Copies of this chain bind each other. A is one copy, B any other.
Amino acid sequence: MNEIVETLRKAGHRVTLPRRAVVRVLLQAERWLSPEEILTPAREYCHSLSLVTVYRTLALLSSLDCVRRIHFENGCHGYARTELVHGHYAVCRDCHRVVEFTGSDALNPLLEQVEAQTGFLVESHMLELVGLCAACHDSE
């Protein structure tokens, strides 16, 4: 049994076919997906699945910190499983691949500096890198 389903169960939520379907699609993807992009393949696992349920499942998984929203300049967002983007991530503008990176501790001195500079108490931050992944970079 996979981790996300396990988290669902432990939190007292029911493990239903529609939810399994959404989770399976998320687990297979190495990239972020829009709700629509989740719906289509997930229907192979649950024929009756509706977009509404995809939204509801994503909201639930999000509250359990199993998936994360991915943000863009234009405002539309996608979802990727947290395991994929536990900390900070880079998004390929071409294939939508999402890759986590480490080393964002390097931000800490900056955050402290900002607090000193602006008087802000920084509670959270959003750092998203956009570019081309190795594969898309090579094929351009």
Q: Interface residues of A: mostly helix, strand, loop or mixed?
A: mixed
Confirm or deny: A110 has a beta carbon within 8 angstroms of a beta carbon on chain B: yes
Q: Could you say which residues of chain B place their CB within 8 Å of the CB of A90?
A: 114, 118, 120, 122
Copies of this subunit: 2
The number of residues on chain A lying at the interface, defined by a beta carbon within 8 Å of a beta carbon of chain B, is 39
Give the docked Cα–Cα distance between A127 and B126 (Å): 5
Given contacts A93-B123, A110-B104, A110-B107, contact A118 B130 (CB under 8 A): no
- Chain B's nearest CB lies how many Å from the CB of A68? 10
Contact (Cβ within 8 A) A117 B133: no
Smallest CB–CB gap between A103 and chain B, Å?
Answer: 5
List the 8 shortest-distance A-B pairs measured between CB atoms, nearest first. Answer: A119-B134, A122-B131, A123-B131, A106-B110, A101-B114, A121-B132, A126-B128, A125-B129
